[in-house]
Amino acid sequence: MRIYNYIVFFCCFFFASCTSSYSPDFPREEILSPELMPLQGVTIPNGLEVKHPFLIVENYKRTDSIFHIYDLNNYVLKSAFGVKGRGPNEWLSPWLVRTQLSDILIERGDDVACRLSIDPDGAPIFVSAERSNYIEGIANAAFINDSLYVLDTYGSFISPGYVHLLTLKDELPRKSWKYGDPSIIYRHIDPDFGEVFANASRIVFNYNFKKQIDFMDIEFNLIKRVRFRYTPPVAITEQNQAEVKKSYTSGYLGKRYFYTLFQGTSWTEYLYDYSFRGSILEVFDLDGNPVIKYRFDGVAPDSFVIDEETFTLYGFKYYGGIPEDHLLVYQLKGLS
């Protein structure tokens, strides 16, 4: 009987280990040391996009030059453009879209997607402008190509808790993927709340309260669900949401890897600790396999982009922690 019990125990253990849905830990770990990139003029970054060898910085409070283009070879400001307003050639409430297109894509503030190229001297060149036909517009969209995009409907009163696949010409979604509870109108208290990313071959959904990432093809077919052992919050309310421990808070999907920041603390604790270094940058290949993780020997960014030509991270904090008019710069060792 005792031998039989051992056999049963061994089989159960073996079966559990083989069917575990948790991902293995990262095969490599590195420490990142910070550099600083000076910005020219009174600049408060609100968004970043990289088009090697140029970096585009969207400014939070500038109304005379919303967008600045820098040469990453020498950090020189090459051009500035974008006047805020409602008149001709003005930008109402623009949003710099992150894409893997060679051109810059900007949502103008009125559901119009504007494409601009950059000439060799770093000057913007207007290419096209196209209005979205979908009723909820393209704010917070992630573009797969110059027309096809995915839209997270958090904040929507029409279809909350979904990611839709559309083109700019579509009036209705081509396909939808449900990730959350549609009955929760205020998305930031949904335990399945997250952020969607896209490139030419992948859609990635990063969860904010669970240590989970879903890697899908551009038809929402699941390729891999990455899960790590992490205790999610039991109940989230509008009153306690800032006190609830966060998991993944920001990310960037390149052509080679997906990069995401694991926070592991509440927004209140994080917000008031400008020198917080507990965030971890995790890197996965496009099939969801862990590649490497980085710990910060310095301030971690709140938002960032990756130049995959040089594997350099450019980021900023929304509230303090670095000198004004500077970006955080980290060289990502170990990637190719």
The string of pLDDT tens digits covering residues 254-271 is 999 999 999 988 888 887
Domain count of the chain?
1
Domain of 34, CATH number, reads: 2.120.10.30
Is the pLDDT at 274 greater than 70? The verdict is no
Percent of the chain having pLDDT more than 70? 91
Q: Is 21 inside any structural domain?
A: no
- Angstrom CA distances, 54 to 4, 49, 229, stand at 67, 9, 39
Q: Is 78 inside any structural domain?
A: yes
Q: Is 4 inside any structural domain?
A: no
Is the pLDDT at 94 greater than 80? The verdict is yes
Q: List the one residue out of 232, 205, 108 whose CA is nearest residue 150.
A: 205
- Report the pLDDT value the prediction gives residue 299, as an integer from 0 to 100: 87
Q: Is 298 inside any structural domain?
A: yes
Please give the model's pTM, rounded to 2 decimal places. Answer: 0.90
- Domain enclosing residue 209, as ranges: 27-331
Q: Is 310 inside any structural domain?
A: yes
- Report the pLDDT value the prediction gives residue 14, as an integer from 0 to 100: 37
Write the pLDDT tens digit of every residue in 98-145: 999 999 999 998 899 999 999 999 999 999 999 999 998 898 899 999
- Report the pLDDT value the prediction gives residue 155, as an integer from 0 to 100: 65
- Report the pLDDT value the prediction gives residue 248, as an integer from 0 to 100: 95
Write the DSSP assignment of 56-123 as a string of letters.
Answer: EEEESS-SS--EEEEETTTTEEEEEE-EESSSTTEESS-EEE--SSSSEEEE-SSSEEEEEEE-TTS-
Write the pLDDT tens digit of every residue in 146-183: 999 999 987 666 778 899 999 999 999 999 999 988 88
- Report the pLDDT value the prediction gives residue 157, as an integer from 0 to 100: 65
Q: Is 305 inside any structural domain?
A: yes
- Report the pLDDT value the prediction gives residue 229, as an integer from 0 to 100: 85
The more confidently predicted of residues 17 and 292 is: 292
Q: Is 14 inside any structural domain?
A: no
Write the DSSP assignment of 272-327 as a string of letters.
Answer: T-TT----EEEEEETTS-EEEEEEESSPPPSEEEEETTTTEEEEE-SSSSS-TTEE
First to last CA, the chain: 55
The more confidently predicted of residues 151 and 88 is: 151
- Report the pLDDT value the prediction gives residue 5, as an integer from 0 to 100: 43
Q: Is 55 inside any structural domain?
A: yes
